[in-house]
Amino acid sequence: MFATRQISSIAKRAFSTSTSSNAAKVAVLGAAGGIGQPLSLLLKQSSLISHLSLYDIVNTPGVAADLSHINSNSKVSGHVPANDGLKEALTGCDIVVIPAGVPRKPGMTRDDLFNTNASIVRDLAVACAEHCPKAHILVIANPVNSTVPIVAEVFKKANVFDPKRLFGVTTLDVVRASRFVSEVKKVSTEDAKITVIGGHSGVTIVPLLSQSGHSFTEEEVKALTHRIQFGGDEVVKAKNGTGSATLSMAFAGARFTNSLLEATVAGKKNIVEPTFVQSDVFAKEGVEFFATNVELGPNGVEKIHPVGKVNAYEQGLIDAAVPELKGNIAKGKAFIKA
Ligand code: NAD
Ligand code: LMR
């Protein structure tokens, strides 16, 4: 607590007017973790953030003290549960990013994390609904296909749910897709913009390579699709029991947060990012949340893009994703309803 107050007062003195006048308070929950630390470092560079509020069950005073010496204009505060730390971290927040939760070990699916992470995300969502009900909530914690519905149900229970302000962060899938395609096609990642739809686990991750403007052999399509769907497993295997993607996820999480800040704080138009949101795109099939490209605006979701033209192979991927997604979403909702 002492550390938090000390950092805040030093940062207040260092504050200068070159931060955007309506800059945002952004909280990172799970800020001392493998994703939380590099994500917070990347967010510390944003001039659209006036206050970076770091919460974790441990170690945030140290992380905050360290980041607070970086001479960008945002104030940094670190909070732990003691002394109403979560309330203090969240009050006044415009954006809350949630990487809190356990990561996978080899042999596990993201759904295997449900038993631990569902209650972590639920409890954090309850606090957000109470202390910053209008904040945009960006869920990174896995299984995203279930944790996003969990946050929605908690907000509904508290009568504060706004579907335009709840996002599952699926940016890592398009970041990976872009990189993997650029390697195969030997082009710049700028020229490898890949739409990825669906959800964020295995077969629910559906890359639409046919929309990329590149041509691929059948073998390339199958290999790339598999690599994009199971890219997370590559990292889990390589880290050999010590965790899952953290640095690439921090990059992806910062990209999504910065896009949202550009749309909400800087008022920029035509900001489009893929994200898992409440969506009508597959409502007829009973899928309540789905990731497609989404245009972001001052209030969050401005326009959900349709899936667009897909080929027979991609239609097969969508057909496989739909029942899995429905199950994941139902599991998240049932957890709160029960
Ligand atoms: P980590 O274990 O390194 O860090 C998690 C942090 O959460 C820890 O610091 C821990 O203390 C904290 N935490 C635990 N319970 C908390 C609570 N109740 N309140 C606040 N903080 C709490 O894990 P990581 O590698 O940073 O991964 C975090 C999550 O992100 C995992 O669930 C992982 O599967 C997920 N993830 C998602 C994506 C994605 O694309 N959406 C990508 C990578 C990882
Ligand atoms: C990822 O895609 O890297 C994350 O969802 C973490 C994981 O468990 O694979």
Which residue shows structure tokens 């099939």? 285
Confidence at 19, pLDDT banded by 50, 70, 90: low
Ligand number, closest to the Cα atom of 146? 1
Between 179 and 1, name the one with better pLDDT. 179
Share of residues in the chain with pLDDT > 70 (%)? 94
Structure tokens given for 336 = 């709160």
How many whole angstroms separate alpha carbon 102 and alpha carbon 300? 28
pLDDT tens per residue, range 128-137: 999 999 999 9
pLDDT value of residue 18: 56
Going by C-alpha positions, the residue among 91, 44, 49, 86 that lies closest to residue 68 is 44
User: Is any ligand 2 atom within 6 A of the Cβ of residue 235?
Assistant: yes
ipTM of the complex: 0.99
Give the DSSP letter of residue 228. Answer: H
Q: In terms of DSSP H, where are the helices of 217-288?
A: 218-229, 231-239, 247-264
Structure tokens given for 235 = 């990292």
Nearest CA to ligand 1 atom 42: 249
What's the 39 CA to ligand 1 centre distance in angstroms? 12
Please give the number of the atom of ligand 1 that sits closest to the Cα of 139: 41
Question: Which residues contact ligand 1 via a Cβ below 6 A?
Answer: 29-30, 32-36, 55-58, 99-104, 113, 117, 120, 124, 140-142, 144, 169, 172, 200, 243-246, 249
- Residue 295 backbone class (left: φ over 0; alpha: ψ -120 to 50; beta: rest): beta
Known catalytic residue: 200?
Answer: yes
pTM of the model: 0.95
pLDDT value of residue 63: 98
How many whole angstroms separate alpha carbon 277 and alpha carbon 171? 13
Sign of CA dihedral 74, 80, 82, 86: positive
pLDDT value of residue 338: 87
pLDDT tens per residue, range 59-92: 999 999 999 999 999 999 999 999 999 999 999 9
Which residue shows structure tokens 């639920």? 122
Confidence at 10, pLDDT banded by 50, 70, 90: very low
Question: Range with the lowest mean pLDDT among 7-16, 153-162, 292-301?
Answer: 7-16
For the cut 60, the answer to whether the pLDDT of residue 7 exceeds it is no
**CB atoms < 10 A from the CB of 272, how many?**
15
Confidence at 13, pLDDT banded by 50, 70, 90: very low
Q: What is the mean pLDDT of the chain?
A: 94
Which run of H or E residues covers position 5? Answer: helix 2-14
pLDDT tens per residue, range 159-214: 999 999 999 999 999 999 999 999 999 999 999 999 999 999 999 999 999 999 99
pLDDT value of residue 99: 98
User: Is any ligand 2 atom within 6 A of the Cβ of residue 232?
Assistant: yes
Q: Which amino acid is at 62?
A: G
**CB atoms < 10 A from the CB of 71, how many?**
8
β-pair type (271-278, 289-297)? antiparallel
Burial 115-146 (b: 16+ CB within 10 A, else e): eebbebbbebbbbbbebbeebbbbbbbbbbbb
pLDDT value of residue 15: 35
What SS3 state is found at 278? strand
Structure tokens given for 191 = 């020229």
How many whole angstroms separate alpha carbon 50 and alpha carbon 22? 8
What's the 16 CA to ligand 2 centre distance in angstroms? 38
- Residue 16 backbone class (left: φ over 0; alpha: ψ -120 to 50; beta: rest): beta
Confidence at 288, pLDDT banded by 50, 70, 90: very high
How many whole angstroms separate alpha carbon 210 and alpha carbon 46? 35
